[in-house]
Amino acid sequence: MANGTGPNFGATLRPLYTERSQRMYVIPENELNQISHLNTLSTIFFSVGSALISIAIGVWVDAAFQTEPISATAEVLKSVVLPIIVVLGVLCYAGGIWQICARKSMLNTIKKESRELGGSN
């Protein structure tokens, strides 16, 4: 019962107050939009690159386990189109890496141009 005469059951809560300081950077809206745009582009490049490489690997595995003779169309696909798809996939990965490097460069510029003001300690 909750009359206070019996033993205490359950958890006891004792608040412990803490504090921490974080760096906060002033980022104008146009820079924030540009960083968001670079994130979106890197995601798109990596997604398209992964899809292209997956398609190429799937077709090559299918061709490797083909028991019947390969038709002329399938041979052209395997020998001409698939290498082009792989090159496009690698270029997409390179584009994604380029976007990440551009974003990192922008964030480093923001950090370099920022200076620390007096704290409230």
Tell me the pLDDT tens digit for each residue of 30-89: 999 999 999 999 999 999 999 999 999 998 888 888 888 888 888 888 889 999 999 999
Asked if residues 45 and 96 have their Cβ atoms less than 8 Å apart, the reply is yes
- Mean confidence (pLDDT) of the chain: 88
> Considering the entire predicted model, what is its pTM?
0.73
CA angle 97, 103, 105 (to 5 degrees): 105
- Provide the pLDDT for residue 4: 60
DSSP per-residue letters across 67-109: -SPPPHHHHHIIIIIHHHHHHHHHHHHHHHHHHHHHHHHHHHH
Confidence of residue 120 (pLDDT cuts 50, 70, 90): low
